[in-house]
A and B are shown apart, each in its own frame.
Chain A
Amino acid sequence: MASSLIIGQYVPADSVVHKLDPRTKIMMIFTFVIIVFFANNAYSYLWLTVFSLSAAALTKVKPRFLLKGLKPVWFLIVFTFLLHLFVTREGDVLTTLLGFPVYSGALIQGFQISLRFFLLILVTSLLTLTTTPIEITDAIETLLHPLKKIKFPVHELALMMSISLRFIPTLMQETEKISKAQASRGVDFKTGPLKERIQAVVPLLVPLFVSAFKRAEELAMAMEARGYRGGEGRTRLRELEIVARDYVAIGLFLVVMVGLFYLRT
Protein backbone atom coordinates (compact mmCIF):
# COMPACT_ATOMS: atom_id res chain seq x y z
CA MET A 1 0.00 0.00 0.00
CA ALA A 2 0.88 3.67 -0.06
CA SER A 3 2.52 3.39 3.33
CA SER A 4 5.28 1.11 2.01
CA LEU A 5 6.43 3.53 -0.66
CA ILE A 6 8.96 5.93 0.79
CA ILE A 7 10.15 7.71 -2.32
CA GLY A 8 8.88 11.22 -1.72
CA GLN A 9 8.34 10.81 2.00
CA TYR A 10 10.17 13.01 4.49
CA VAL A 11 11.47 11.37 7.64
CA PRO A 12 12.40 13.91 10.29
CA ALA A 13 15.67 13.25 12.14
CA ASP A 14 18.56 15.19 13.59
CA SER A 15 21.34 14.43 11.13
CA VAL A 16 24.01 16.29 9.15
CA VAL A 17 22.31 15.37 5.92
CA HIS A 18 19.03 16.84 7.13
CA LYS A 19 20.79 20.07 8.04
CA LEU A 20 22.58 20.55 4.72
CA ASP A 21 21.27 23.34 2.54
CA PRO A 22 18.73 21.85 0.11
CA ARG A 23 20.55 23.47 -2.80
CA THR A 24 23.75 21.66 -1.86
CA LYS A 25 21.86 18.38 -1.72
CA ILE A 26 20.08 18.90 -5.02
CA MET A 27 23.28 19.86 -6.84
CA MET A 28 25.18 16.91 -5.39
CA ILE A 29 22.47 14.42 -6.21
CA PHE A 30 22.03 15.84 -9.67
CA THR A 31 25.75 15.45 -10.30
CA PHE A 32 25.71 11.96 -8.79
CA VAL A 33 22.98 10.87 -11.17
CA ILE A 34 25.28 11.84 -14.03
CA ILE A 35 28.56 10.46 -12.72
CA VAL A 36 27.05 7.08 -11.89
CA PHE A 37 27.14 6.41 -15.61
CA PHE A 38 30.91 6.93 -15.67
CA ALA A 39 31.60 3.99 -13.40
CA ASN A 40 32.86 1.14 -15.53
CA ASN A 41 34.82 -1.30 -13.39
CA ALA A 42 34.60 -3.05 -10.05
CA TYR A 43 36.66 -0.42 -8.22
CA SER A 44 34.65 2.54 -9.43
CA TYR A 45 31.39 0.80 -8.58
CA LEU A 46 32.68 -0.14 -5.16
CA TRP A 47 33.76 3.47 -4.62
CA LEU A 48 30.29 4.81 -5.46
CA THR A 49 28.61 2.12 -3.37
CA VAL A 50 30.72 3.08 -0.38
CA PHE A 51 29.82 6.73 -0.91
CA SER A 52 26.08 6.02 -1.23
CA LEU A 53 25.95 3.74 1.78
CA SER A 54 27.90 6.22 3.93
CA ALA A 55 25.54 8.98 2.87
CA ALA A 56 22.57 6.74 3.73
CA ALA A 57 24.13 5.94 7.11
CA LEU A 58 24.66 9.64 7.85
CA THR A 59 20.95 10.35 7.45
CA LYS A 60 20.20 8.30 10.59
CA VAL A 61 17.17 6.77 8.86
CA LYS A 62 16.89 3.13 9.93
CA PRO A 63 18.37 0.83 7.23
CA ARG A 64 15.48 -1.58 7.64
CA PHE A 65 13.08 1.22 6.80
CA LEU A 66 15.16 2.30 3.82
CA LEU A 67 15.24 -1.22 2.38
CA LYS A 68 11.58 -1.80 3.03
CA GLY A 69 10.76 1.50 1.36
CA LEU A 70 12.63 0.44 -1.75
CA LYS A 71 10.47 -2.68 -1.95
CA PRO A 72 8.42 -1.49 -4.94
CA VAL A 73 11.60 -1.06 -7.00
CA TRP A 74 13.30 -4.31 -6.00
CA PHE A 75 11.26 -5.96 -8.68
CA LEU A 76 12.66 -3.64 -11.34
CA ILE A 77 16.20 -4.15 -10.11
CA VAL A 78 15.89 -7.93 -10.21
CA PHE A 79 14.14 -7.76 -13.56
CA THR A 80 16.98 -5.67 -15.03
CA PHE A 81 19.46 -8.20 -13.77
CA LEU A 82 17.64 -11.17 -15.28
CA LEU A 83 17.12 -9.38 -18.56
CA HIS A 84 20.83 -8.80 -18.93
CA LEU A 85 21.63 -12.28 -17.80
CA PHE A 86 19.69 -13.86 -20.62
CA VAL A 87 20.15 -11.33 -23.38
CA THR A 88 23.81 -10.32 -23.23
CA ARG A 89 26.21 -12.61 -25.11
CA GLU A 90 29.75 -11.69 -24.15
CA GLY A 91 32.62 -13.60 -22.57
CA ASP A 92 32.61 -17.33 -21.87
CA VAL A 93 29.60 -19.52 -21.36
CA LEU A 94 29.51 -20.29 -17.67
CA THR A 95 26.51 -22.53 -17.39
CA THR A 96 23.04 -23.01 -18.81
CA LEU A 97 19.94 -21.89 -16.97
CA LEU A 98 16.48 -23.00 -18.09
CA GLY A 99 18.01 -23.98 -21.42
CA PHE A 100 19.66 -20.57 -21.96
CA PRO A 101 23.43 -20.20 -22.04
CA VAL A 102 24.68 -17.76 -19.39
CA TYR A 103 27.76 -15.78 -20.37
CA SER A 104 30.30 -14.38 -17.91
CA GLY A 105 29.95 -10.95 -19.49
CA ALA A 106 26.21 -11.10 -18.94
CA LEU A 107 26.68 -11.83 -15.27
CA ILE A 108 29.02 -8.90 -14.83
CA GLN A 109 26.95 -6.51 -16.89
CA GLY A 110 23.68 -7.54 -15.28
CA PHE A 111 25.20 -7.01 -11.88
CA GLN A 112 26.63 -3.61 -12.80
CA ILE A 113 23.47 -2.28 -14.38
CA SER A 114 21.23 -3.32 -11.52
CA LEU A 115 23.73 -1.96 -8.99
CA ARG A 116 23.71 1.34 -10.88
CA PHE A 117 19.95 1.32 -10.78
CA PHE A 118 19.94 0.59 -7.07
CA LEU A 119 22.43 3.39 -6.34
CA LEU A 120 20.43 5.89 -8.36
CA ILE A 121 17.23 5.12 -6.53
CA LEU A 122 18.85 4.97 -3.12
CA VAL A 123 20.59 8.31 -3.48
CA THR A 124 17.67 10.17 -5.00
CA SER A 125 15.36 8.86 -2.30
CA LEU A 126 17.82 10.23 0.26
CA LEU A 127 16.97 13.72 -0.99
CA THR A 128 13.26 13.43 -0.28
CA LEU A 129 13.85 11.46 2.92
CA THR A 130 15.94 14.24 4.45
CA THR A 131 14.48 17.37 2.87
CA THR A 132 11.00 18.76 3.41
CA PRO A 133 9.00 19.46 0.24
CA ILE A 134 9.03 23.14 1.13
CA GLU A 135 12.82 23.19 1.27
CA ILE A 136 13.02 21.43 -2.07
CA THR A 137 10.76 23.94 -3.79
CA ASP A 138 12.58 26.87 -2.16
CA ALA A 139 15.85 25.47 -3.44
CA ILE A 140 14.49 24.91 -6.94
CA GLU A 141 13.14 28.42 -6.98
CA THR A 142 16.49 29.95 -6.10
CA LEU A 143 18.42 27.63 -8.39
CA LEU A 144 16.18 28.51 -11.31
CA HIS A 145 16.18 32.20 -10.48
CA PRO A 146 18.50 33.17 -13.39
CA LEU A 147 15.87 31.85 -15.82
CA LYS A 148 13.66 34.78 -14.82
CA LYS A 149 15.68 36.86 -17.26
CA ILE A 150 14.15 34.94 -20.15
CA LYS A 151 10.63 35.37 -18.65
CA PHE A 152 10.43 31.84 -17.33
CA PRO A 153 7.71 31.81 -14.61
CA VAL A 154 9.98 30.54 -11.85
CA HIS A 155 7.91 31.73 -8.91
CA GLU A 156 4.66 30.38 -10.32
CA LEU A 157 6.27 27.04 -11.03
CA ALA A 158 7.61 26.82 -7.49
CA LEU A 159 4.22 27.78 -6.09
CA MET A 160 2.50 25.10 -8.13
CA MET A 161 5.03 22.57 -6.94
CA SER A 162 4.65 23.44 -3.29
CA ILE A 163 0.87 23.38 -3.50
CA SER A 164 0.87 19.98 -5.19
CA LEU A 165 3.38 18.59 -2.72
CA ARG A 166 1.40 19.99 0.15
CA PHE A 167 -1.80 18.34 -1.02
CA ILE A 168 -0.50 14.91 -1.97
CA PRO A 169 -0.82 13.55 1.59
CA THR A 170 -4.21 15.21 1.96
CA LEU A 171 -5.42 13.59 -1.23
CA MET A 172 -4.08 10.22 -0.14
CA GLN A 173 -5.88 10.51 3.18
CA GLU A 174 -9.04 11.52 1.40
CA THR A 175 -8.74 8.58 -0.99
CA GLU A 176 -8.37 6.22 1.92
CA LYS A 177 -11.31 7.74 3.75
CA ILE A 178 -13.67 7.64 0.78
CA SER A 179 -12.65 4.16 -0.27
CA LYS A 180 -13.36 2.98 3.25
CA ALA A 181 -16.76 4.65 3.22
CA GLN A 182 -17.63 3.05 -0.11
CA ALA A 183 -16.26 -0.32 0.97
CA SER A 184 -18.70 -0.09 3.88
CA ARG A 185 -21.45 0.39 1.33
CA GLY A 186 -20.47 -2.85 -0.33
CA VAL A 187 -18.01 -1.75 -3.01
CA ASP A 188 -15.34 -4.34 -3.64
CA PHE A 189 -12.14 -2.73 -4.90
CA LYS A 190 -9.98 -5.80 -4.63
CA THR A 191 -11.68 -8.80 -6.19
CA GLY A 192 -14.06 -9.54 -9.01
CA PRO A 193 -13.79 -9.23 -12.78
CA LEU A 194 -11.81 -6.34 -14.26
CA LYS A 195 -14.88 -4.58 -15.61
CA GLU A 196 -16.50 -4.45 -12.19
CA ARG A 197 -13.31 -3.29 -10.59
CA ILE A 198 -13.04 -0.43 -13.05
CA GLN A 199 -16.63 0.51 -12.33
CA ALA A 200 -15.85 0.43 -8.62
CA VAL A 201 -13.49 3.37 -9.14
CA VAL A 202 -16.32 5.77 -10.05
CA PRO A 203 -17.70 6.06 -6.49
CA LEU A 204 -14.16 6.84 -5.41
CA LEU A 205 -13.16 9.31 -8.11
CA VAL A 206 -16.27 11.49 -8.15
CA PRO A 207 -16.09 12.49 -4.47
CA LEU A 208 -12.33 12.94 -4.77
CA PHE A 209 -12.65 15.36 -7.66
CA VAL A 210 -15.49 17.21 -5.99
CA SER A 211 -13.45 17.78 -2.86
CA ALA A 212 -10.26 18.61 -4.77
CA PHE A 213 -12.03 21.33 -6.73
CA LYS A 214 -13.69 22.65 -3.62
CA ARG A 215 -10.34 22.74 -1.88
CA ALA A 216 -8.67 24.54 -4.78
CA GLU A 217 -11.37 27.17 -4.75
CA GLU A 218 -11.07 27.68 -1.01
CA LEU A 219 -7.30 27.91 -1.23
CA ALA A 220 -7.45 30.52 -4.00
CA MET A 221 -9.93 32.52 -1.97
CA ALA A 222 -7.84 32.29 1.20
CA MET A 223 -4.70 33.38 -0.65
CA GLU A 224 -6.45 36.33 -2.17
CA ALA A 225 -7.98 37.29 1.16
CA ARG A 226 -4.49 37.38 2.63
CA GLY A 227 -3.21 39.66 -0.09
CA TYR A 228 -1.24 37.26 -2.27
CA ARG A 229 -0.35 38.87 -5.58
CA GLY A 230 2.47 36.86 -7.10
CA GLY A 231 6.20 36.69 -6.54
CA GLU A 232 7.06 40.33 -7.31
CA GLY A 233 8.74 41.98 -4.32
CA ARG A 234 7.96 39.03 -2.07
CA THR A 235 10.47 38.34 0.72
CA ARG A 236 11.14 35.01 2.39
CA LEU A 237 10.45 33.78 5.87
CA ARG A 238 13.25 31.22 5.68
CA GLU A 239 16.35 32.43 3.86
CA LEU A 240 18.51 29.65 2.48
CA GLU A 241 22.13 29.98 3.51
CA ILE A 242 25.26 28.13 2.49
CA VAL A 243 27.41 27.56 5.59
CA ALA A 244 30.67 25.82 6.48
CA ARG A 245 28.93 22.44 6.64
CA ASP A 246 27.90 22.78 3.00
CA TYR A 247 31.43 23.62 1.87
CA VAL A 248 32.71 20.53 3.66
CA ALA A 249 30.06 18.39 1.97
CA ILE A 250 30.85 19.83 -1.44
CA GLY A 251 34.58 19.28 -0.81
CA LEU A 252 34.01 15.65 0.11
CA PHE A 253 31.82 15.17 -2.90
CA LEU A 254 34.57 16.55 -5.15
CA VAL A 255 36.92 13.96 -3.62
CA VAL A 256 34.37 11.28 -4.55
CA MET A 257 34.25 12.58 -8.10
CA VAL A 258 38.00 12.82 -8.53
CA GLY A 259 38.36 9.34 -7.02
CA LEU A 260 35.84 7.97 -9.48
CA PHE A 261 37.64 9.34 -12.49
CA TYR A 262 40.93 8.04 -11.09
CA LEU A 263 39.51 4.55 -10.57
CA ARG A 264 37.61 4.10 -13.81
CA THR A 265 39.33 2.67 -16.80
Chain B
Amino acid sequence: MDISFKEVSHTYQPNSPFEYHALKDLSFHIQSGQFVAIVGHTGSGKSTLIQHLNGLLKPTSGEVKIGDYRLKADEKTANIKGLREKVGVVFQYPEHQLFEETIEKDIAFGPKNFGATDDEIKARLPKVLGAVNIDASLLNRSPFDLSGGQMRRVAIAGVLAMEPEVLVLDEPTAGLDPKGQQEVMDMFYRLHHEKGLTTILVTHSMEDALKYADHVIILEQGKKHLEGKPETIFVQKDRLKQVQLDVPEEIQFLMDLEARLGIKITYDKHSIDDLVKEIKAQLGGGR
Protein backbone atom coordinates (compact mmCIF):
# COMPACT_ATOMS: atom_id res chain seq x y z
CA MET B 1 0.00 0.00 0.00
CA ASP B 2 1.19 3.47 -0.82
CA ILE B 3 1.61 5.78 2.14
CA SER B 4 1.69 9.52 1.95
CA PHE B 5 1.98 12.30 4.49
CA LYS B 6 0.80 15.74 3.44
CA GLU B 7 1.93 18.62 5.69
CA VAL B 8 1.28 16.52 8.77
CA SER B 9 1.68 18.13 12.18
CA HIS B 10 1.02 16.50 15.49
CA THR B 11 0.76 18.37 18.79
CA TYR B 12 0.56 16.54 22.11
CA GLN B 13 -1.79 18.07 24.70
CA PRO B 14 -2.66 21.13 22.62
CA ASN B 15 -3.72 24.32 24.43
CA SER B 16 -2.09 23.39 27.70
CA PRO B 17 1.19 24.40 29.33
CA PHE B 18 2.45 20.96 28.30
CA GLU B 19 1.74 21.53 24.63
CA TYR B 20 4.42 19.86 22.51
CA HIS B 21 4.81 19.96 18.76
CA ALA B 22 6.12 16.51 18.01
CA LEU B 23 5.68 16.63 14.22
CA LYS B 24 5.81 19.77 12.13
CA ASP B 25 4.64 20.05 8.52
CA LEU B 26 5.91 16.66 7.53
CA SER B 27 5.44 15.52 3.93
CA PHE B 28 6.74 12.42 2.20
CA HIS B 29 5.64 9.52 0.08
CA ILE B 30 6.32 5.83 0.48
CA GLN B 31 5.66 3.51 -2.44
CA SER B 32 4.13 0.11 -2.00
CA GLY B 33 6.87 -2.48 -1.54
CA GLN B 34 9.55 -0.09 -0.36
CA PHE B 35 11.74 -0.70 2.66
CA VAL B 36 11.98 2.64 4.42
CA ALA B 37 14.20 3.50 7.35
CA ILE B 38 13.29 6.37 9.65
CA VAL B 39 16.20 7.64 11.69
CA GLY B 40 16.67 10.55 14.04
CA HIS B 41 17.91 11.57 17.42
CA THR B 42 15.99 10.59 20.58
CA GLY B 43 12.79 12.61 20.80
CA SER B 44 12.78 13.59 17.13
CA GLY B 45 9.26 12.21 16.67
CA LYS B 46 9.83 8.78 15.12
CA SER B 47 7.43 6.90 17.38
CA THR B 48 4.88 9.67 16.99
CA LEU B 49 5.15 9.37 13.23
CA ILE B 50 4.60 5.64 13.10
CA GLN B 51 1.54 5.82 15.34
CA HIS B 52 -0.11 7.70 12.49
CA LEU B 53 0.35 4.70 10.22
CA ASN B 54 -2.42 2.65 11.82
CA GLY B 55 -4.58 5.40 13.19
CA LEU B 56 -3.49 5.30 16.83
CA LEU B 57 -2.80 8.99 16.48
CA LYS B 58 -4.39 11.43 14.09
CA PRO B 59 -2.66 14.43 12.64
CA THR B 60 -3.62 17.69 14.35
CA SER B 61 -3.33 19.22 10.91
CA GLY B 62 -2.57 17.84 7.46
CA GLU B 63 -3.48 14.49 6.02
CA VAL B 64 -2.17 10.93 6.10
CA LYS B 65 -3.10 8.43 3.42
CA ILE B 66 -2.46 4.72 3.72
CA GLY B 67 -3.80 2.93 0.68
CA ASP B 68 -7.46 3.92 0.57
CA TYR B 69 -7.59 4.93 4.21
CA ARG B 70 -7.41 8.58 5.11
CA LEU B 71 -6.56 10.16 8.46
CA LYS B 72 -7.42 13.78 8.97
CA ALA B 73 -8.05 15.97 11.99
CA ASP B 74 -11.74 16.22 12.95
CA GLU B 75 -12.68 13.54 10.51
CA LYS B 76 -13.75 10.09 11.54
CA THR B 77 -11.78 7.45 9.69
CA ALA B 78 -13.95 4.74 8.22
CA ASN B 79 -13.11 1.17 9.21
CA ILE B 80 -10.08 1.81 11.36
CA LYS B 81 -10.00 -1.86 12.32
CA GLY B 82 -9.49 -2.77 8.69
CA LEU B 83 -6.53 -0.41 8.60
CA ARG B 84 -5.04 -1.99 11.71
CA GLU B 85 -5.38 -5.42 10.16
CA LYS B 86 -3.38 -4.36 7.12
CA VAL B 87 -0.73 -2.42 9.03
CA GLY B 88 1.09 -4.53 11.62
CA VAL B 89 3.06 -2.57 14.19
CA VAL B 90 5.89 -3.97 16.27
CA PHE B 91 6.34 -1.42 19.05
CA GLN B 92 9.42 -0.55 21.04
CA TYR B 93 9.78 -3.36 23.57
CA PRO B 94 6.83 -5.38 22.23
CA GLU B 95 7.33 -8.05 24.91
CA HIS B 96 5.38 -5.75 27.25
CA GLN B 97 2.19 -6.56 25.38
CA LEU B 98 2.19 -10.30 26.15
CA PHE B 99 -0.63 -11.36 28.44
CA GLU B 100 -2.15 -14.74 27.54
CA GLU B 101 -1.69 -17.97 29.47
CA THR B 102 0.15 -19.68 26.67
CA ILE B 103 2.40 -18.57 23.85
CA GLU B 104 0.06 -20.12 21.32
CA LYS B 105 -2.91 -18.10 22.58
CA ASP B 106 -0.90 -14.92 22.60
CA ILE B 107 0.21 -15.35 19.02
CA ALA B 108 -3.38 -16.15 18.01
CA PHE B 109 -4.78 -13.10 19.80
CA GLY B 110 -4.25 -10.59 16.98
CA PRO B 111 -5.49 -12.73 14.08
CA LYS B 112 -8.52 -13.78 16.14
CA ASN B 113 -9.50 -10.19 16.78
CA PHE B 114 -9.40 -9.60 13.05
CA GLY B 115 -11.70 -12.55 12.45
CA ALA B 116 -9.30 -15.31 11.36
CA THR B 117 -10.69 -18.81 11.99
CA ASP B 118 -8.95 -21.31 14.26
CA ASP B 119 -7.95 -23.38 11.24
CA GLU B 120 -6.42 -20.40 9.51
CA ILE B 121 -4.46 -19.51 12.63
CA LYS B 122 -3.26 -23.11 13.04
CA ALA B 123 -1.99 -23.01 9.48
CA ARG B 124 -0.12 -19.76 10.06
CA LEU B 125 1.56 -20.87 13.29
CA PRO B 126 4.42 -23.01 11.95
CA LYS B 127 5.37 -20.28 9.46
CA VAL B 128 5.59 -17.48 12.00
CA LEU B 129 7.31 -19.67 14.58
CA GLY B 130 9.88 -20.62 11.98
CA ALA B 131 10.37 -16.99 11.02
CA VAL B 132 11.12 -15.86 14.58
CA ASN B 133 13.00 -19.05 15.40
CA ILE B 134 10.85 -20.22 18.33
CA ASP B 135 10.50 -23.94 18.86
CA ALA B 136 6.97 -25.36 18.54
CA SER B 137 7.49 -27.29 21.77
CA LEU B 138 7.24 -24.00 23.66
CA LEU B 139 3.72 -23.25 22.42
CA ASN B 140 1.96 -24.38 25.58
CA ARG B 141 4.29 -22.59 27.96
CA SER B 142 3.46 -19.27 29.58
CA PRO B 143 5.06 -16.33 27.77
CA PHE B 144 6.24 -15.03 31.15
CA ASP B 145 8.54 -18.04 31.59
CA LEU B 146 10.64 -17.05 28.59
CA SER B 147 13.84 -15.05 28.43
CA GLY B 148 13.60 -11.41 27.34
CA GLY B 149 14.86 -12.23 23.85
CA GLN B 150 12.41 -15.10 23.42
CA MET B 151 9.55 -12.92 24.64
CA ARG B 152 10.47 -10.37 21.99
CA ARG B 153 10.33 -13.05 19.31
CA VAL B 154 6.95 -14.29 20.48
CA ALA B 155 5.58 -10.75 20.47
CA ILE B 156 6.88 -10.27 16.93
CA ALA B 157 5.29 -13.58 15.92
CA GLY B 158 1.99 -12.25 17.25
CA VAL B 159 2.16 -9.36 14.79
CA LEU B 160 3.37 -11.48 11.87
CA ALA B 161 0.47 -13.90 12.42
CA MET B 162 -1.90 -11.08 11.47
CA GLU B 163 -0.33 -11.30 7.97
CA PRO B 164 -0.19 -7.54 7.47
CA GLU B 165 0.62 -5.88 4.15
CA VAL B 166 2.55 -3.09 5.81
CA LEU B 167 5.00 -3.88 8.58
CA VAL B 168 5.99 -1.09 10.91
CA LEU B 169 8.95 -1.76 13.19
CA ASP B 170 9.91 0.57 16.04
CA GLU B 171 13.46 -0.33 17.03
CA PRO B 172 12.66 -4.03 16.92
CA THR B 173 16.16 -5.11 17.91
CA ALA B 174 16.85 -2.72 20.80
CA GLY B 175 18.18 -4.68 23.76
CA LEU B 176 18.85 -7.94 21.92
CA ASP B 177 22.28 -9.53 21.76
CA PRO B 178 24.28 -8.82 18.58
CA LYS B 179 23.57 -12.20 17.03
CA GLY B 180 19.87 -11.91 17.88
CA GLN B 181 19.78 -8.43 16.33
CA GLN B 182 21.23 -9.69 13.11
CA GLU B 183 18.87 -12.68 13.02
CA VAL B 184 15.76 -10.62 13.63
CA MET B 185 16.71 -8.00 11.05
CA ASP B 186 17.56 -10.63 8.44
CA MET B 187 14.21 -12.27 9.15
CA PHE B 188 12.33 -9.03 8.54
CA TYR B 189 14.31 -8.42 5.37
CA ARG B 190 13.52 -11.89 4.07
CA LEU B 191 9.82 -11.52 4.84
CA HIS B 192 9.81 -8.13 3.19
CA HIS B 193 10.94 -9.67 -0.09
CA GLU B 194 9.06 -12.97 0.12
CA LYS B 195 5.70 -11.39 0.85
CA GLY B 196 6.18 -8.13 -0.99
CA LEU B 197 5.57 -6.15 2.17
CA THR B 198 5.95 -2.44 2.63
CA THR B 199 8.29 -2.11 5.58
CA ILE B 200 8.92 0.94 7.72
CA LEU B 201 11.80 0.56 10.14
CA VAL B 202 12.62 2.97 12.93
CA THR B 203 16.21 2.47 13.97
CA HIS B 204 19.16 4.06 15.72
CA SER B 205 21.56 1.91 13.72
CA MET B 206 22.84 3.68 10.64
CA GLU B 207 24.37 0.38 9.56
CA ASP B 208 20.96 -1.31 9.50
CA ALA B 209 19.40 1.62 7.67
CA LEU B 210 22.15 1.47 5.05
CA LYS B 211 22.02 -2.29 4.70
CA TYR B 212 18.28 -2.91 4.49
CA ALA B 213 16.52 0.25 3.41
CA ASP B 214 15.98 1.53 -0.10
CA HIS B 215 14.70 4.85 1.17
CA VAL B 216 15.73 6.84 4.24
CA ILE B 217 13.96 9.65 6.07
CA ILE B 218 15.89 11.57 8.70
CA LEU B 219 13.85 13.43 11.30
CA GLU B 220 15.01 16.28 13.48
CA GLN B 221 12.71 17.85 16.07
CA GLY B 222 9.63 16.74 14.21
CA LYS B 223 10.79 18.07 10.85
CA LYS B 224 12.23 16.25 7.87
CA HIS B 225 15.95 16.88 7.80
CA LEU B 226 16.96 14.71 4.85
CA GLU B 227 15.27 12.17 2.61
CA GLY B 228 16.53 9.96 -0.18
CA LYS B 229 18.43 6.84 -1.10
CA PRO B 230 20.72 5.55 1.67
CA GLU B 231 23.76 5.66 -0.63
CA THR B 232 23.31 9.37 -1.17
CA ILE B 233 22.11 10.26 2.35
CA PHE B 234 24.79 8.51 4.33
CA VAL B 235 27.74 10.10 2.58
CA GLN B 236 26.70 13.60 3.71
CA LYS B 237 28.79 13.55 6.83
CA ASP B 238 28.32 17.21 7.73
CA ARG B 239 24.56 17.15 7.31
CA LEU B 240 24.39 14.05 9.53
CA LYS B 241 26.64 15.63 12.13
CA GLN B 242 24.20 18.55 12.41
CA VAL B 243 21.63 16.19 13.87
CA GLN B 244 24.05 14.13 15.97
CA LEU B 245 24.06 11.15 13.63
CA ASP B 246 27.09 9.23 12.49
CA VAL B 247 28.07 7.92 9.12
CA PRO B 248 27.61 4.11 8.95
CA GLU B 249 30.79 2.11 9.56
CA GLU B 250 31.01 0.89 5.98
CA ILE B 251 30.84 4.38 4.53
CA GLN B 252 33.29 5.72 7.10
CA PHE B 253 35.67 2.95 6.13
CA LEU B 254 35.42 3.83 2.46
CA MET B 255 35.95 7.51 3.28
CA ASP B 256 39.08 6.67 5.26
CA LEU B 257 40.25 4.46 2.44
CA GLU B 258 39.92 7.31 -0.01
CA ALA B 259 41.62 9.78 2.31
CA ARG B 260 44.60 7.55 3.08
CA LEU B 261 45.14 5.45 -0.01
CA GLY B 262 43.31 7.41 -2.66
CA ILE B 263 41.07 4.47 -3.50
CA LYS B 264 37.62 5.64 -4.53
CA ILE B 265 34.76 3.16 -4.20
CA THR B 266 31.15 4.21 -4.33
CA TYR B 267 29.11 2.19 -1.88
CA ASP B 268 26.40 0.10 -3.50
CA LYS B 269 25.22 -2.40 -0.88
CA HIS B 270 28.45 -4.37 -1.13
CA SER B 271 28.87 -7.42 1.02
CA ILE B 272 32.19 -7.62 2.86
CA ASP B 273 33.52 -10.13 0.33
CA ASP B 274 32.58 -7.91 -2.58
CA LEU B 275 34.31 -4.99 -0.95
CA VAL B 276 37.47 -7.01 -0.41
CA LYS B 277 37.44 -8.00 -4.07
CA GLU B 278 36.91 -4.47 -5.26
CA ILE B 279 39.65 -3.08 -3.04
CA LYS B 280 42.03 -5.78 -4.21
CA ALA B 281 41.17 -5.04 -7.81
CA GLN B 282 41.77 -1.32 -7.32
CA LEU B 283 45.02 -1.90 -5.44
CA GLY B 284 46.22 -4.34 -8.10
CA GLY B 285 45.03 -2.13 -10.93
CA GLY B 286 46.66 0.94 -9.38
CA ARG B 287 50.13 -0.59 -9.45
- A residues within 8 Å of B by Cβ? 3, 11, 13, 61-62, 64-65, 68, 174, 177-178, 180-188, 202-203, 206-207, 210-211
Contacts and interface: CB of A to CB of B under 8 A. Distances in A.
A210 B144 contact: yes
A182 B96 contact: no
B45 interface: no
Given A184-B54, A184-B91, A187-B113, A3 B13 contact: yes
27 contacts: A3-B18, A61-B17, A64-B15, A65-B16, A65-B17, A68-B16, A174-B96, A177-B91, A178-B97, A181-B89, A183-B84, A184-B56, A184-B89, A184-B91, A184-B159, A185-B109, A185-B113, A185-B162, A186-B81, A186-B110, A186-B112, A188-B81, A202-B99, A203-B109, A207-B97, A210-B144, A211-B96
Nearest to B14: A3
B94 interface: yes
Nearest to B161: A185
Contact of A185 (B13, B15, B96, B97): B97
Nearest to B13: A3
Interface of B: 13, 15-18, 51, 54, 56, 81, 84-85, 88-89, 91, 94, 96-99, 109-110, 112-114, 144, 158-159, 162
Given A203-B99, A210-B144, A183 B56 contact: yes
A211 B151 CA distance: 14
A64 B56 CA distance: 28
Given A186-B113, A187-B113, A181 B97 contact: yes
A65 to B, nearest CB: 6
Contact of B110 (A3, A13, A185): A185
A68 B99 CA distance: 36
Contacts of A11: 17
A181 B112 CA distance: 15
Contacts of B162: 185-186
Contact of A182 (B85, B88, B97): B97
A184 B96 contact: no
Contacts of B89: 181, 184
Given A65-B17, A185-B159, A207-B97, 7 more contacts: A174-B96, A180-B91, A185-B84, A185-B158, A186-B113, A188-B81, A188-B113
Contacts of A174: 96
A244 to B, nearest CB: 29
Nearest to A64: B15
Given A185-B158, A186-B110, A68 B94 contact: no
- Judged by DSSP, the binding face of A is helix
Contacts of B91: 177, 180-181, 184
Contacts of B81: 186, 188
A247 B98 CA distance: 55
B51 A180 contact: yes
A258 B268 CA distance: 83
A113 to B, nearest CB: 30
B155 to A, nearest CB: 9
Given A11-B17, A62-B17, A186-B85, A181 B96 contact: yes
Contacts of A62: 17
Q: Chain A CB within 10 Å — which of B13, B15, B84, B99 has the most?
A: B99
Nearest to B110: A185
A125 B54 CA distance: 37
A188 B113 CA distance: 9
B91 to A, nearest CB: 5
A58 to B, nearest CB: 16
Given A65-B16, A177-B91, A180-B51, A186 B99 contact: no
A34 to B, nearest CB: 31
Sorted from nearest, which 6 A-B pairs have the closest CB atoms? A186-B113, A206-B99, A185-B110, A181-B97, A184-B89, A186-B114
B88 to A, nearest CB: 7
B84 A186 contact: yes
B122 to A, nearest CB: 18
B16 A3 contact: yes
Given A186-B81, A187-B113, A180 B99 contact: no
The listed residue with most B CB atoms (<10 A of its CB), out of A182, A185, A202, is A185
B115 to A, nearest CB: 9
Contacts of B51: 180
Nearest to A11: B17
A186 B83 CA distance: 10
A207 B17 contact: no
Nearest to B109: A185
Contacts of A210: 99, 144
A61 B16 CA distance: 10
A9 to B, nearest CB: 9
A178 B96 contact: yes
A3 B15 CA distance: 11
